[in-house]
């Protein structure tokens, strides 16, 4: 691992940029997420999403349907903005220190991905003429997931005087809202009601509770001063907040440091959240901060060892890819009490909901770098299987489970069912992830205690949904594929292909493991019959996969190709993304795709179509896809790689790795695009390197994209650790841990052993 | 006309029945609608929709979408419940007179359709032992549309004493709501704010205004006493109401009558609504009530002369048909300021919205009996053409007008666009009605000043919506036909057939009248080009009308026949209507129809399919149609008649004429089903009698349904009055007014002159 893995940005305190930096310099550890808002706050008119989140902590709010049809969802869950412990106001010699009223001579932000902290370095020139240096380091601790620290260091470079810190603890805060953007909540009262707000010694603590979900959040803060002189400290309550005021003398050229520890807990995970946070802070504050930093670094050191990607020839790309991996690590749940949100824990976009994105775009990354985290995500889905069964029943299914399109606890939260509940491919994504995880890890225990049940129940849903037509083909009607620019279509190629895979794998794995105790019990519990397993196999075999003779492509759905092609060339730039500028009924009438749909199916299920059909389809869909979704270009890149279209693979890859760093979609302020981050990883690993783990084992078919000198990455496969390096001339595979194994290099059987790296010319 | 045309019902004061009677004994005249609620009110726990309505008077209320997609409707209009002037409380010798606290020995309700009033006759046995007879007659005056009268007559049969009337005038009232039924509003604040509430002499008046729509409602009441003794009267204000208290001695065996006049006006029609109502009452109260009753009777006498249907052999059916006609007369707007609501003015079902039902099911009745009323309805649609253009633009159309699925002022008010805005066939219904009206009346003036513009603009919408497929067929994608159990389908047979007719007639009529001054102006104003007219003809010719070779039927849409057939036989009775018990996504996946769809298309456009296809289709669809809509069975009956399936025609006709009288759908409490009422008329006239007016003139092909001895009805045709009588042996046509004309009797050219009736054996 390189020692310096930093993202550094100048800070100009420009409102929009600040809002973006709140996301980019968020501190998160898979449990807590604290946006990189300024301790001192921003002027009132500045857009800011001042947020602190806990994975899976939610409130239930009404979501009235404009027309109440039967069994439509009329409530939704929303991620909570919890207790604000970030706020620290500083006064030096009577002058309030903030970049909006003071002169800033230099300011930058740093994210250190090797050390696991963010930092703000600000240099002020005070009205008295004095120079003040401020360094604020924040850390969401990876090993102690409830812990967040702020190290607030100031240095009076050329003067003496007094600093006064007001450090806040505000339990009741409101969520963010933007009524003009359907991807954000449109109203935001404060969902938390204070149960307790108190202090004991210098430790403050609060307990809040939501009204509907009954989730209890506890928070505690503690302060430690490191300075030459003794500080005075007192706590007061003001307007529902506890404020710790610390007065401390400033000496010229000397540093003074305020360490603020905050701990958070919730009733989803803990019986006594308050005891959890106060106990934790009591223990943690006696450890030196250095020790906490060292632990953080050690945690990351292992993470990078398992995942660090080297890209020689494009340092910016390498940094961006590492940034993405780091963000995924920050976003991934550390226990099965929560799934992973579309924006991770970095913002309130999509209200903290979990979508198919996680399974389809992020789980593949964790499968190859940290299978335990992948397992958490899948275990969370397993825990919501009962809710998925209820969801299926609501839609009228007699059997099976239908995972919700968007959710926090497993209950459907999509308000517009034609592009929500109707997106049955969520079942496809989850089952695909279960199968992939098992194929890459061989984790039979997971398969037998969780995975198989999920596969059987999702497969049952397809059986209950589909129907044989007069030609004996198995049809799936009225579903919505990944491309939401048409909804409730018949025989969406992607959905049908996913369903076939789900059905076949459920049946095959069931038959393979049917004699295992767990499966015998499952058979009894779920009433699985041979007839049913046969029906799964039959449906998989008979699955209708639309093919158009004229064009030689797979149409996205039965009616897709008959519709007129949207005139993208004449569509004004400001009309994108189309969904924000056109009535859905209008969108639905055209051949226009928001994102990869059939092209994704071809990447996932290449055996279902000929190479020619896939290439023709690729060429066809690339002309009509807007990539309005951040989930799209990476898939086009992967499929291009698979088809050997190397220029296209590189061109679609483009700077998608930098989507958030460069704010390409202009909405990174609402949170990072985790799916795109995972997708970029896939575009390199599954795309450029052609790494696939299938039923028959590991495959690679690497190439070196133009402009790069080499790239390499470590990965896990069936318990072993491998590393693949690709340069202009050759591919090299090393086995760094575990036993040797066979793999396929462009369909050629190869072996890798511990003795020496495997090398092959390109 | 027969002198006695009465509907009489015993009144048991059973809550559900009372609620039903509120609808059945509603007083309406096309402008005001006053439900048959009890003057004295009902106990608090009784379900009651205490309503007074004015045609087209509305408020705008929020209709938030659960997910705000682009250009979705987020506000809706709702019919106002206006000022309550019905309330009259009576005390006799200190005892409050109402059926819930007094002993009722006899009670009945009467609707006199010849005289135009409703009446409640109640006989009380008082706690003092006295016998009290109460007769309350209500009239919404047909000639003076703002006027509503209550004649409250009491007779102290065997005692003397004193009666005290408290007569209320309450300007601010709330609308009805039922959160459990999607067909009703789910919340109901009071939409009216009082501007004025005052009295002058014995006349009380009020002015109220809505907050959003700014509609002003004025009401006034005046009281006149007819009694042997002088009454004392005073007005007081109490809790926002004006209460006129009248004390009057009661003599044994003598009648005392309180006449309460109420007048209503609104700012949609009048500049000074308050002056309108006070002035009107000043004038009206000097006329004797007898004269007002005589005028009412005279008005109805003319109405029945034009429309009265005689059915020999089924008195109940005859009464029901007359009841329906009467209700349609009560519901039809008297000016173009309002359309006609699905429930007329008889209740708040569907929030007073206007749908396609009016044009497709009710306009045909008025075309044949009172073309001026048909013209009002169409003129209202013409006045909303600008709103329809805006609606089209919202959905993304570059040209044309899309009439809203449900509306009051012409603005779309449907909250769920897949079965609202997507029901483009509303354009088909309106254009069909325009064409039918013109074909039956020859009213060129209407066509040239309104109708043609509507036809061109609706036709333009089809041109902008449809698209030629690879086979050169004109397709219409993503629309919803009349059967809402599938939504957003491709090539709905009904919609495509309607669109073709709309396109062809628009082009033909344009070409026929293109040299007329109005059309020359229209051409310029709308920028109509020959190219466009040619495109209309081409699209009409190329319109794709799905046909299935295997079944020999017209499928409802492209995908319909591939779906599984819903198992109606095994569906529990309590699951109907299905839309209240199954998630839409579930419904959409099956072959199951809420109502006639393709079968209606065959009736309207019989030239588009062979007789064999139509009969096979009829047989096919009858097996999968639930008739959950009241618009369905009448169409099956008509189409059966057309196909010569006389038994089926009669069986589908069934007692649908009695749907409201027998409360068959159990929701007549929310208002009458005007479309079904019109549909029953059509089932007899267009069905049994086979009367059709087409481009080539008048057609009849009558038969006498089993069980009837004869039936006859008058009708208007091109300014003349005709009467058709059908019995077992023969059909007889009489010309009662106007010039002789040709017509077709089962495709045979015939003539009818003034000299003698035309007779033909059957």
Which tens digit of pLDDT belongs to each residue from B81-124? 999 999 999 999 999 999 999 999 999 999 999 999 999 999 99
Distances A342 to A27, A360, A378, A432 between C-alpha atoms, Å: 16, 12, 15, 18
Looking at residue A184, what is its pLDDT? 67
Domain B314-544+652-688 has CATH 2.30.22.10: no
Looking at residue A4, what is its pLDDT? 66
Q: What is the DSSP string of B555-592?
A: -SSTTGGGSPBP-STTS-GGG-SGGGTS-HHHHHTSB-
Of the candidates B399, B525, B403, the one whose C-alpha atom is nearest the C-alpha of residue B453 is: B525
What confidence category does residue B1 fall into, taking pLDDT thresholds of 50, 70 and 90?
very low
Quote the tokens at residue B499.
Answer: 């669109």
CATH class assigned to B694-762:
mainly beta
B315-346 burial: b if 16+ Cβ within 10 Å, else e: eebbbbbbbbbbbbbbbbbbebbbbbbbbbbb
CATH class assigned to A6-62+75-303:
mainly beta
A490 to chain B: closest CA residue? B559
Residue B184 in this model has a pLDDT that exceeds 80: no
For residue A712, the cross-strand partners are A310, A725
What confidence category does residue B702 fall into, taking pLDDT thresholds of 50, 70 and 90?
very high
Task: Return mean pLDDT, chain A.
Answer: 96
- Interface touch A562/B477, C-beta < 8 Å: yes
Instruction: Give the integer Cα–Cα distance in Å for B724 and B711.
Output: 8
Strand (E) or helix (H) holding A275: helix A273-284
Task: Return mean pLDDT, chain B.
Answer: 96
CB atoms within 10 A of CB B272: 13
Average pLDDT, integer, range A426-443: 98
Residue A437 in this model has a pLDDT that exceeds 80: yes
Q: How many CA atoms lie within 13 A of A89 on its CB side?
A: 14
Instruction: Tell me the pLDDT tens digit for each residue of B371-397.
Output: 999 999 999 999 999 999 999 999 999
Looking at residue A182, what is its pLDDT? 66
What confidence category does residue A7 fall into, taking pLDDT thresholds of 50, 70 and 90?
very high
Instruction: Give the integer Cα–Cα distance in Å for B565 and B600.
Output: 20
Which of A199-208, B126-135, B178-187, B258-267 comes out lowest in average pLDDT? B178-187
> Where do runs of H (alpha helix) occur along B332-441?
356-357, 363-369, 371-383, 385-395, 425-441
Whether residue B311 contacts residue B683, with contact meaning beta carbons closer than 8 Å, is answered with no
The answer to whether the predicted template modeling score (pTM) of the entire model surpasses 0.80 is yes
The residues, ordered by sequence, that sit 6+ positions from B173 with a Cβ below 8 Å of its Cβ are B50, B52, B81, B82, B83, B84, B190, B192
Kindly give the pairing relationship between strand B192-200 and strand B203-210.
antiparallel
Let me know if A277 is exposed, middle or buried by CB neighbors in 10 A (0-12, 13-18, 19+): buried
Domain boundaries, chain B: 18-62+76-272, 314-544+652-688, 694-762
Peptide bond connecting A577 to the previous residue in cis, omega within 30 degrees of 0: yes
Looking at residue B182, what is its pLDDT? 66
Residue B3 in this model has a pLDDT that exceeds 70: no
Looking at residue A672, what is its pLDDT? 97
Percent of chain B with pLDDT strictly greater than 70: 98
Average pLDDT, integer, range A49-54: 96
Quote the tokens at residue A87.
Answer: 């706020």
For residue B748, the cross-strand partners are B745
Instruction: Give the integer Cα–Cα distance in Å for B404 and B408.
Output: 10
Instruction: Give the integer Cα–Cα distance in Å for B482 and B515.
Output: 37
Looking at residue A420, what is its pLDDT? 97
Residue A667 in this model has a pLDDT that exceeds 70: yes
Looking at residue B566, what is its pLDDT? 97
Q: CA B92, B96, B98, B101 torsion: positive or negative?
A: negative
Peptide bond connecting B577 to the previous residue in cis, omega within 30 degrees of 0: yes
Tokens 């390197």 identify what position?
Answer: A689
- Residues in A closer than 8 angstroms to B397, CB to CB, are 586
CB atoms within 10 A of CB A695: 10
Quote the tokens at residue A436.
Answer: 């992939």
Looking at residue A195, what is its pLDDT? 96
Residue B4 in this model has a pLDDT that exceeds 80: no
Alpha-carbon gap: A625 to the closest alpha carbon of chain B (Å): 19
Of the candidates A364, A321, A357, A323, the one whose C-alpha atom is nearest the C-alpha of residue A339 is: A357
Q: Which of residues 580-599 of B touch A (CB under 8 A)?
A: 580-586, 588-589
Q: Which of residues 294-333 of A touch B (CB under 8 A)?
A: none
What is the strand order of the sheet A748-752 is part of?
A: A692-694, A697-700, A741-745, A748-752
Angle subtended by helix axes A674-682 and A315-331, to nearest 10: 130
Is A110's Cβ below 8 Å from some Cβ in B? no
Alpha-carbon gap: A70 to the closest alpha carbon of chain B (Å): 5
Alpha-carbon gap: B476 to the closest alpha carbon of chain A (Å): 9
Looking at residue A3, what is its pLDDT? 45
Residue A189 in this model has a pLDDT that exceeds 90: no
Q: Where are the beta strands (DSSP E) in A32-127?
A: 32-34, 52-54, 58-62, 75-79, 88-92, 95-97, 103-112, 117-125
Of the candidates A52, A352, A50, the one whose C-alpha atom is nearest the C-alpha of residue A183 is: A352
- Residues in B closer than 8 angstroms to A64, CB to CB, are 64, 66
Residue A2 in this model has a pLDDT that exceeds 60: no
Residue B187 in this model has a pLDDT that exceeds 80: no
Instruction: Give the integer Cα–Cα distance in Å for B690 and B683.
Output: 9
A582 to chain B: closest CA residue? B70
Instruction: Tell me the pLDDT tens digit for each residue of B17-56.
Output: 999 999 999 999 999 999 999 999 999 889 999 999 999 9
Alpha-carbon gap: A496 to the closest alpha carbon of chain B (Å): 15
Average pLDDT, integer, range A78-89: 96
Q: Which fold is adopted by the domain B18-62+76-272? A: Beta-galactosidase; Chain A, domain 5 (2.70.98)
Instruction: Tell me the pLDDT tens digit for each residue of B614-666.
Output: 999 999 999 999 999 989 999 999 999 999 999 999 999 988 999 999 999 89
For residue B360, the cross-strand partners are none
- Nearest Cβ partner for B67 among A71, A416, A478: A416
Catalytic annotation, residues of B:
484
> ipTM of the predicted structure?
0.93
- Nearest Cβ partner for A467 among B415, B418, B564: B564
Instruction: Tell me the pLDDT tens digit for each residue of B578-618.
Output: 999 999 999 999 999 999 999 999 999 999 999 999 999 99
Q: Assess whether the region A6-62+75-303 and the region A324-688 belong to the same CATH fold.
A: no
Q: Which of residues 389-448 of B touch A (CB under 8 A)?
A: 394-397, 414-418, 420-422
Strand (E) or helix (H) holding B753: none
Looking at residue A186, what is its pLDDT? 67
Domain A324-688 has CATH 1.10.20.10: no
- Interface touch B68/A182, C-beta < 8 Å: yes
DSSP state of B321: H
CB atoms within 10 A of CB B238: 10
Whether residue A125 contacts residue A131, with contact meaning beta carbons closer than 8 Å, is answered with yes
What confidence category does residue B177 fall into, taking pLDDT thresholds of 50, 70 and 90?
confident
Q: Which of residues 35-74 of A touch B (CB under 8 A)?
A: 63-74
> Where do runs of H (alpha helix) occur along A610-672?
611-622, 633-642, 646-653
Instruction: Give the integer Cα–Cα distance in Å for B688 and B641.
Output: 6
Average pLDDT, integer, range A447-476: 97
| Secondary structure of residue B178 in the 3-state scheme | coil
Instruction: Give the integer Cα–Cα distance in Å for A638 and A650.
Output: 9
Looking at residue B342, what is its pLDDT? 96
Looking at residue A1, what is its pLDDT? 42
A397 to chain B: closest CA residue? B586
Of the candidates A555, A569, A545, A547, the one whose C-alpha atom is nearest the C-alpha of residue A621 is: A555
Instruction: Give the integer Cα–Cα distance in Å for A309 and A292.
Output: 26
Instruction: Give the integer Cα–Cα distance in Å for B407 and B352.
Output: 8
For residue A166, the cross-strand partners are A89, A245
Give the count of Cβ contacts less than 8 A between chain A and B. Answer: 148
CA A373 to chain centre: 12
């Amino acid at each position: 691992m390189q020692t310096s893995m930093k993202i550094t940005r100048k800070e100009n305190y420009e409102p929009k940029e600040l809002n973006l930096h709140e996301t980019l310099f968020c501190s998160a550890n898979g449990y807590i997420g604290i946006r990189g808002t300024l301790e001192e706050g921003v002027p009132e008119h500045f857009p800011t999403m001042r947020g602190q989140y806990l994975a899976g902590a939610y409130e239930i709010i009404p979501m009235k349907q404009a027309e109440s049809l039967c069994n439509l969802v009329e409530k939704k869950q929303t991620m909570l903005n919890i207790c604000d412990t970030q706020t620290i106001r500083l006064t030096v010699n009577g002058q309030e220190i903030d970049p909006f009223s003071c002169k800033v001579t230099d300011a930058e932000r740093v994210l250190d991905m090797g050390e696991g902290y963010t930092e703000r370095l600000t240099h002020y020139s005070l009205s008295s003429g004095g120079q003040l240096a401020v360094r604020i380091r924040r850390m969401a601790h990876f090993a102690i997931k409830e812990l967040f620290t702020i190290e607030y260091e100031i240095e009076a470079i050329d003067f003496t005087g007094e600093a006064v810190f007001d450090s806040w603890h505000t339990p009741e805060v409101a969520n963010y809202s933007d009524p003009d953007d359907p991807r954000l909540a449109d109203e935001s009262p404060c969902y938390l009601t204070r149960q307790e707000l108190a202090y004991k010694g210098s430790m403050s603590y609060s307990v809040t509770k939501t009204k509907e979900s009954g989730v209890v959040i506890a928070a505690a803060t503690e302060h430690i001063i490191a300075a030459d002189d003794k500080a005075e400290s007192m706590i007061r309550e003001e307007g529902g907040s506890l404020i710790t005021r610390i007065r401390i003398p400033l000496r010229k050229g000397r540093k003074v440091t305020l360490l603020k520890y905050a701990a958070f807990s919730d009733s989803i995970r803990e019986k006594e959240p308050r005891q959890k946070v106060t106990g934790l802070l009591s223990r943690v504050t006696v450890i030196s901060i250095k020790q906490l930093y060292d632990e953080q670094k050690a945690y990351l050191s292992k993470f990078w060892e398992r995942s660090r990607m080297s890209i020689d020839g494009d340092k910016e790309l390498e940094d961006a890819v590492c940034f993405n991996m780091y963000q995924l690590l920050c976003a991934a749940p550390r226990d099965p009490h929560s799934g992973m949100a579309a924006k991770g824990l970095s913002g309130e976009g999509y209200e903290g909901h979990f979508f198919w994105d996680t399974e389809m775009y992020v789980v593949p990354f964790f499968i190859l770098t940290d299978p335990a985290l992948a397992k958490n995500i899948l275990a969370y889905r397993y825990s919501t299987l009962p809710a998925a069964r209820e969801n299926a029943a609501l839609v009228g299914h007699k059997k099976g489970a239908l995972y919700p399109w968007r959710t926090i606890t497993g209950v459907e939260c999509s308000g517009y069912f034609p592009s929500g509940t109707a997106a049955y491919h969520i079942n496809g994504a989850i089952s695909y992830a279960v199968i992939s995880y098992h194929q890459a890890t061989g984790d039979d225990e997971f398969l037998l205690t969780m995975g198989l049940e999920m596969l059987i129940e999702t497969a049952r849903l397809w059986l209950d949904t589909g129907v044989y037509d007069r030609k004996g083909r198995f049809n799936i009607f009225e579903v919505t594929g990944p491309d939401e620019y048409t909804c409730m279509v018949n025989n969406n190629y992607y959905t049908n292909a996913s369903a076939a895979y789900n059905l076949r794998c459920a049946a095959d794995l069931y038959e393979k493991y049917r004699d295992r105790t767990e499966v015998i019990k499952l058979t009894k519990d779920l009433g699985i019959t041979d007839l049913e397993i046969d029906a799964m196999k039959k449906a998989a075999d008979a699955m209708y996969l639309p093919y158009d003779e004229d064009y030689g492509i797979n149409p996205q759905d039965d009616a897709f190709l008959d519709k007129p092609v949207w005139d993208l060339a004449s569509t004004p730039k400001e009309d994108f993304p189309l969904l924000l500028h056109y009535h859905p009924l209008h969108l639905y009438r055209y051949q226009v795709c928001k994102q990869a749909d059939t092209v994704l199916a071809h990447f996932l299920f290449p055996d279902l179509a000929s190479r020619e059909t896939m290439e023709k389809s690729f060429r066809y869909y690339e002309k009509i896809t807007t990539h309005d979704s951040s989930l799209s270009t990476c898939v086009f890149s992967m499929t291009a790689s698979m088809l050997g279209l190397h220029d296209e693979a590189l061109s679609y890859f483009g700077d998608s790795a930098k989507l958030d760093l460069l704010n390409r979609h202009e909405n990174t302020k609402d949170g990072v695009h985790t799916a795109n981050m995972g997708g970029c990883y896939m575009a390199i690993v599954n795309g450029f390197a052609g790494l696939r783990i299938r039923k028959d084992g590991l495959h690679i078919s690497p190439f070196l994209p133009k402009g790069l000198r080499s790239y390499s990455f470590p990965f896990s496969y069936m318990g072993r650790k491998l590393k693949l390096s690709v340069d202009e001339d050759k591919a090299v595979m090393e086995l760094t841990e575990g036993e040797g194994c066979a793999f396929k290099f462009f369909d050629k059987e190869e072996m890798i052993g511990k003795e020496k790296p495997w090398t092959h010319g390109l």
